Structure 1
């Protein structure tokens, strides 16, 4: 299944429920008794005409309380800006829907994706709203199993169906089953102070990149910060190396069967990673270090570069997180490799992380979901994500909104995307779950020196062939 992403690179890039009120109208009148029926009738009418009954304030009807569960992954300090946006959306949604309380459940990304959510999907009891990864191994698999809400009529009703830049990784048989919260690309962040100190210019060629790494290494600075305890972190770099050596088409070629993992080009990508390991380009002890540790290595000046997603950019304008590197970080995409296949100006680009919704909803819960989508997927929130968190928008923004971008890293990223030769996805959003899990195991074996590049590639191809056979 082809999932190539062609970014809207230039970023050319916007029922509340009303409480019904009712109350009892109590009228009071004073009448005087008279000896005759006529007098009584006259006096009563006169009293009601001259002294209108006092009306009580209408009593607001109490809405029936209900709770909607929401699983998110914004749990670290580096994600505090995105969490603030989510909190504001939650408050607005609760205000819009009478009786609603949204119950937040913060879970680490990989635990949610590979442990909790799969188990909940298998049991048929996922949260009502949850962080969801796109692609064959996640959103499309759950959609086939009937676990995800078809959002096609909802986004049409809200008038935002044509506002998204790319919904491919959440679309199955023409129906949309998830909404990406933003876009991203991956590349090298670098320390401007260290580059200046050692006379290194921002690399634009492969030779310049490796020369920069050599210079840092000679001066006892780790070239590339790395935390490989979570194997998805080094796999980001592996993915882009494959995109360079084997070409952008290789990523979609794996699940299609047109690209072999043990082809010479893919083996070359693994070999380059292994070469950098042997040269000591990565953080010593990386297999015991978390994603957060990688950032700490970089901001404390122990490493000169860090391969990471563009979503990290907000960290470097926050003194509490970046320290002395606040506003002192640059960004560049991986240069083309000598004799690499395909378009060497292509970048990795994804609209693969967002929110999904349970197919099992009561009418009240469906109302809440619609309100959440309306509030989260708006120009206001997309712009906040770009300005406050450095998260590339997943929806088209107006020129007026784009003009508000001042963050230099975000500007660099947007310029890179604007000058790119297209984009390719990350293979974790295109291959089957078993294949991706094998890739995590194999990259850690490569890092540990327990497997060669060829052995890793052969192991990957074996699992890929099983997945292809199972899909027939």
Structure 2
């Protein structure tokens, strides 16, 4: 969670060794081969930063194989970068003659939006309509693909194409629920009842991490439980004034403080990172974890000694989430038609189903088309929020550098900070930024 989810992306995939911008701009060559002619319709240069063997990397591998099959005369020059490499050097890369034809790029105003405003990305609006991508992706999931002339998301021009989704949901240790005779929650009342019953049994019910995204995610999730669609649009899209001392954020801070006092959260978790939170769940120290679907794949691998399940968080019709990172086509790309062909393949039924089978969330495949039962459960939960404006993005998106503010505010609360102080802490950067836009 930062603008726009820099930390989120860093935490969900281990970084490869970073290299300098000079390496990024070095002449590109195919693996095991020499340089090839550029701009002749015979070479597709592609970059992404998905972890090798991860669900998305496997899907993109399959998409590259399909591209090669359908374009037998085209050479694919693929390079796996790190998130940091692209995030820190994208402007320089895309403004050079070394820009790839298509690359994965982070979503939001400070990344895709900024480069679009600077004229460094290709406007894909006509192509999205021609190839039907705009029909395969819901309006809510496409908000971070569309930008206006100011580079702010939710505009009418497509500068990126996401083909997977992400959101925050609930993970339950089913064995601990059965052992302690706790009913699985179906609404907020039964959720709090479950927290109380586990605490009475001497178990801290909620996994948490104060020194990373989870604590801030909880604050925003609680605020969303009292928020309207208009409030979300006011906060995220600057459509109206946001009162940080209003009922939404005040409720979130007060409820979080209440749960701290009741021991549903452990105040000692104030210094933990996101990976520590998942370890609490995997080691069965905490029966409930609320976190992103980016943990889903590793939990499937790491948990071997108990049954677990996922479900939408029962306390709110809205949750943190959005469409995934974008495929973008640099304005200086030399083979844009080939880039469009590749993106089209990633949106095909075959690749979309593969994304689901491997444990991620396809945007253009229905849950019942995926055989993996856990993945079907995950996709169904995402679709619950995707319909009806249930994806409310992430709390740190509206302001560059806001991630650190949310972390500090959550830690302040966990260390006994007063409600008004925490709300003022969250309000200051946001109000300064929105004032500067006028």
2:203 counterpart (221, 232, 237):
221
Matched residue, 1:64 = 37
Structure number with larger C-alpha Rg = 1
Query: Structure 1: which 5+ residue stretches go unaligned?
Result: 1-61, 337-343
Secondary structure of residue in 2 paired with 1:64:
coil
Matched residue, 1:462 = 428
Matched residue, 1:56 = none
1:425 counterpart (383, 392, 403):
392
Tell me the TM-score normalized by structure 1: 0.71
Q: Which digits, 9 at most, give the CA deviation of each residue in 1:204-228, with x for residues without a partner?
A: 2333222322332343433122234
Matched residue, 1:374 = 344
**1:304 and 1:272, CA in 2 relative to 1: closer, same or farther beyond 3 A?**
same
- What's the offset of the Cα at 1:298? 0.9
Instruction: Answer yes or no: is 1:239 the counterpart of 2:220.
Output: yes
Q: How well do the aligned residues superpose, as a CA RMSD in angstroms?
A: 3.2
**1:356 and 1:455, CA in 2 relative to 1: closer, same or farther beyond 3 A?**
farther
The whole-number CA distance in structure 2 between the counterparts of 1:164 and 1:229 is 34
Secondary structure of residue in 1 paired with 2:258:
helix
Count of residues paired in the alignment: 383
- What's the offset of the Cα at 1:444? 3.3
Q: Which digits, 9 at most, give the CA deviation of each residue in 1:185-241, with x for residues without a partner?
A: 3221110000000011111233322232233234343312223433x3323222221
- What's the offset of the Cα at 1:418? 4.4
Contact 2:172/2:288, CA 8 A, preserved across alignment: yes
The whole-number CA distance in structure 2 between the counterparts of 1:278 and 1:258 is 32
Tell me the TM-score normalized by structure 2: 0.76
The whole-number CA distance in structure 1 between the counterparts of 2:263 and 2:319 is 26
**1:83 and 1:234, CA in 2 relative to 1: closer, same or farther beyond 3 A?**
farther
Secondary structure of residue in 2 paired with 1:402:
helix
Matched residue, 1:31 = none
2:280 counterpart (297, 300, 320):
297
Matched residue, 1:12 = none
Within 5 A, what are the aligned runs for 1:56-455? Answer: 64=37, 68=45, 70-74=47-51, 80-93=54-67, 96=71, 98-107=74-83, 111=84, 117-121=87-91, 128=100, 129-166=102-139, 167-173=142-148, 174-230=156-212, 232-254=213-235, 255-282=238-265, 285-316=268-299, 318=300, 320-325=301-306, 328-336=307-315, 345-363=317-335, 366-391=336-361, 393-395=362-364, 397=365, 402-408=368-374, 410-411=376-377, 414=380, 417-418=383-384, 422-428=389-395, 431-449=398-416, 451-455=417-421
Secondary structure of residue in 2 paired with 1:183:
strand
Contact 1:131/1:354, CA 8 A, preserved across alignment: yes
**1:81 and 1:345, CA in 2 relative to 1: closer, same or farther beyond 3 A?**
closer
Q: Which digits, 9 at most, give the CA deviation of each residue in 1:255-299, with x for residues without a partner?
A: 333321222431220222233234443366534433333222212
Query: Structure 2: which 5+ residue stretches go unaligned?
Result: 1-34, 149-155
Contact 1:67/1:103, CA 8 A, preserved across alignment: no
